[in-house]
Chains A and B, each alone.
Chain A
């Protein structure tokens, strides 16, 4: 054994000597050797009929979608079409679902609770809390997701994402970041946790950290419905009926583009300060366009993405519903905890153009962005009730858009609140799953904290500035 170890040491020493001798030539010699072999093998077994024709279609499409002039407009147009179909299409099923779950099932469950002589707290937690929050998540989230995800997946299957990366590469390099960040950013539009994991395709640790920290600026699927709903209610409502869908779509695109803008800005900032360095070189392969298999894509994206995300939302919504009911119904000195919290947050929140309900909702909804809107609605109804002396904190409302609008207007919301909520939904801490993923990927408390706190601070600043400008001009 001893002898063998000695022999191994000798061998390793010899290898080291040879290595110094050969040095950098090794890589070139090897690669060259492999290429010569590969070329020879291919020459003997591959026959190409007409070299000119091959991949002609692909190149023709690429010349358009990655061209200097048309690249960006086409990107925005495609995003616009996807969002527009989502906004138009989600409306009707959303209304049906909320009628079913909230107008029909909810009173039925209440009735069952009564006939079983549930104590008030039990039916409160279970039906007013857990059930209602869950029902809200399903009614608000399911239709937009069931439309948005398949459309997005079709684009992905077709091979469009690498073209987006190609278009954005130059901008990323100017920001001192890695061009592949365009891909992880696109993944973030689905789910930030997935986007953070996807940064493993970036080799340089510096550029990878930048990609991780800025991934949160990609609107994730938990936030698209919030954007779409608020845009429809507040921004779509200030223009004539015929234009409302287009304007709402435009404003959601605006927020998404703003997020991309923040990605560049923060990447640039980080690469000039905390993460100094030059952008590294990389090769990106533009894969062939493949005709998407439409039915299979729709099926798998509904099973894989929509139901998984919805399941996660429901899992977090159920306990959050219980928490909302509890903080709304446990009184301290004649006022519920929620009202105390809302009142405590209000001065600061109103100062930056939001309100206490929104901040409290974002705290309750740290586990999942998906439940922000339901939480806001339940808390708003609750605080209206406590002001008007409505009967208890039993929460009952219809789920369609005008009704949601009425609730929010009654809660003192204005167009400014709506805009600020959209901005804050873009700029706030990542959800707890993403935070945990960032910690797992970076293994660093410091960078996890930066990735968590930085967006909140930016959110506060941006909302504050918008509010000041609004008051200045309005």
Chain B
């Protein structure tokens, strides 16, 4: 497998993990805001998007690096 293909595969597999995590965090926020009550729908949705975006930014590099490591690209001269 060529390195570019490998990178694509890593990106695809990582997305399967970090997207559900971000989505989960966003839904959790929405759920919490709904349970607490008193928030206008726009605030709940806006907050959900913001939390989802930040969660994506946090989880994306961590998961991608982990998947890559597991796939073995880090094996080698740094062993």
Are A and B part of the same complex? no
Chain B residues in the interface with A (C-beta under 8 A): none
